[in-house]
Amino acid sequence: MKKVLFAVLVLSALVLAACGGGSNAVATLAPVPADYAGKTNPLGADAAAAGAEVFKTNCESCHGPLGKGDGPAGAALDPTPKDLSVLQVSAGDDFLYWRINTGKEGTGMVAWKGTLTDEQIWQVVSFIRTLK
Ligand code: HEC
């Protein structure tokens, strides 16, 4: 009986080890700072068309036309831009709005606050939501 119990324990430990932190685990996103946390897009899906224009002019060179991270200017960067169509599934509006406003430290992603208006940043968030 003791042997069986031991075997069950070893097995469950193995199963747990296999499930946790495997390569299939969704990468955890950085926590959104308090001044941005909880913000939601005040513009609807209608703003995506305007956002597409903002994206084309300011983001496409690195992120690629469909946000896949395959823009010509992104290829030389380390790290290269990741796929925004994948990111947007797990990222909240507050996360996207924060990153676009303040950039991503240690990468080629600059802060857009001041270059783009607040409205343009939310428009581009609406556009990112359409990426598949
Ligand atoms: C000079 C190239 C470049 C331009 C232009 C650029 N980005 Fe980025 N972007 C990057 C890189 C490099 C990263 C960091 C790698 C990553 O996480 O995708 C990044 C990261 C991001 C992230 C966060 C990803 C994460 O995991 O945190 C978002 C959102 C984003 N960019 C959106 C935009 C938007 C919207 C624009 C236009 C307003 C833009 N980027 C313009 C290169 C660029």
Residue whose CB lies within 8 A of the most ligand 1 atoms, among 59, 68, 100, 109, for a mutation test = 109
- Token pair in block for residue 87: 């990111």
pLDDT truncated to tens, each residue of the chain (132 aa)?
A: 567 666 666 655 655 555 544 444 456 899 999 999 999 999 999 999 999 999 999 999 999 999 999 999 999 999 999 999 999 999 999 999 999 999 999 999 999 999 999 999 999 999 999 999
Count the helix, strand and coil residues of the chain and give each as a percent rounded to the nearest 5.
50, 0, 50
What's the 56 CA to ligand 1 centre distance in angstroms?
13
Instruction: Report DSSP letters for 70-107, one per residue.
Output: --TTTTTSSSPPP-HHHHHHH--HHHHHHHHHH--TTS
Is any atom of ligand 1 closer than 6 Å to the C-beta of 74?
yes
pTM, two decimal places: 0.85
**52 ligand 1 Cβ < 6 A:** no
Q: Topology of domain 34-128, per CATH?
A: Cytochrome Bc1 Complex; Chain D, domain 2 (1.10.760)
State whether the Cα torsion 98-100-105-106 is positive or negative. positive
Indicate if ligand 1 lies below 6 Å from the C-beta of 79: yes
CA of 4 to the centre of ligand 1 (A): 53
Domains in the chain: boundaries: 34-128
If 0-12 CB within 10 Å is exposed, 13-18 middle and 19+ buried, where does residue 80 land?
A: middle
State how far the Cα of 67 lies from the Cα of 55, in Å rounded to an integer: 9
